[in-house]
Amino acid sequence: MSTLEQHLTEYLSMRRALGYDLDKLEHLAGQFCTWLTAQGKESTFTSADALTWARLPVDADPRWWGMRLGAVRTFAKYLDAIGVDVQVPPAGILPAGPRRAAPFIYSQADLQALLHACPQVFTRPLQAATMRTVIGLLAATGMRIGEVLRLCSGDIDTAAEVLAIRASKRKDRLVPVHRSTIEALMAYRDLPARTATHPATSGPLLVSSHGTGYHRSTIESYFARVVTAAGLQPRGAARPRLHDLRHTFATAHMAAAYRGGGDPQRTLTLLSTWLGHTSTAHTYWYLSATPELMALAAARLDQPQDRS
């Protein structure tokens, strides 16, 4: 781990102890540190470095560049405050304000292709099993990737078939899961390859070959390799992202509610709870991207209303 990565870990721990949501900052600043290490810089950086990295990929929306640079500025201000010799990029040199990416909604065939590709990409059994577990758990629960990486064995209630999601964006919550999901998690926990790493009993469930947890940036890079091996291609503006498994989970449940004649509003309220949103307004964004869901909603509106 580089010196900058150590500082980032300390900063995230300190801020999370105060209750801040830092998943996006962890993801972007972690990627920046990885990029710097590849450039041979592990303890310092300049504004030019930050700007060069922020403008990647070169064909991205400038607002995305601005978000990336904003994450570096936040980290750089902390480093400067503790006496690390870095330059804080000036504000306003890139457009500010995020624009939501178009979600990539995975089909069942897409999910199968991703799971099948994991052992093709990773020759080490533990790495392959870890990525299969990450993808399967995200698809089955709609959890955030940060929540998945923080999940511990003790958070799995095998009797009640629920997962305790701790230290997430707002407050702890319980997520109900199917028995098959519990069995898959227990099978991963008991893998000989995992046991051989001697992971801490109270540590994260998902571990590397060193028995320690993963940084989000590492899992994101692994997922990009799996996507390539699975042959998934962008659909218009939508590119396959790990976070879109969360969108897929939400839209699948709402579509099932419409198809089955259930109460969509009740399902929306449940989804908001399961996803850890403080308001159903945040959940609506997850439901805006699939033509099938929009068609089902329109069909429901076209049905004769019972006025008795």
Rounded CA-CA distance 200/227 in Å is: 31
Confirm whether 27 is a catalytic residue.
no
Annotated catalytic residue, options 144, 215, 216, 253: 144
Annotated catalytic residue, options 68, 194, 246, 253: 246
Q: In what order do the strands lie in the sheet with 156-157?
A: 156-157, 162-165, 173-176
Q: What SS3 state is found at 294?
A: helix
Q: What is the CA radius of gyration of the chain?
A: 21
Confirm whether 282 is a catalytic residue.
no
First to last CA, the chain: 68
Residues comprising the chain, all counted: 308
Rounded CA-CA distance 260/263 in Å is: 9
Annotated catalytic residue, options 16, 55, 63, 243: 243
Confirm whether 243 is a catalytic residue.
yes
Annotated catalytic residue, options 169, 194, 216, 253: 169
Residue 94 DSSP one-character state: S
Rounded CA-CA distance 265/188 in Å is: 36
DSSP-assigned letters across all residues of 27-89: HHHHHHHHHHHHTT-SS---HHHHHHHHT-STTS-HHHHHHHHHHHHHHHHHHHHTT---PPP
Confirm whether 286 is a catalytic residue.
yes
Reported as type and span, the H/E element at residue 137 is: helix 125-141
Rounded CA-CA distance 37/294 in Å is: 45
Rounded CA-CA distance 212/265 in Å is: 41
* Residues of the chain by 3-state class (helix, strand, coil), percent to 5: 55, 5, 40
Six-digit token string for 2: 């580089």
Confirm whether 169 is a catalytic residue.
yes
Catalytic residues: 144, 169, 243, 246, 277, 286
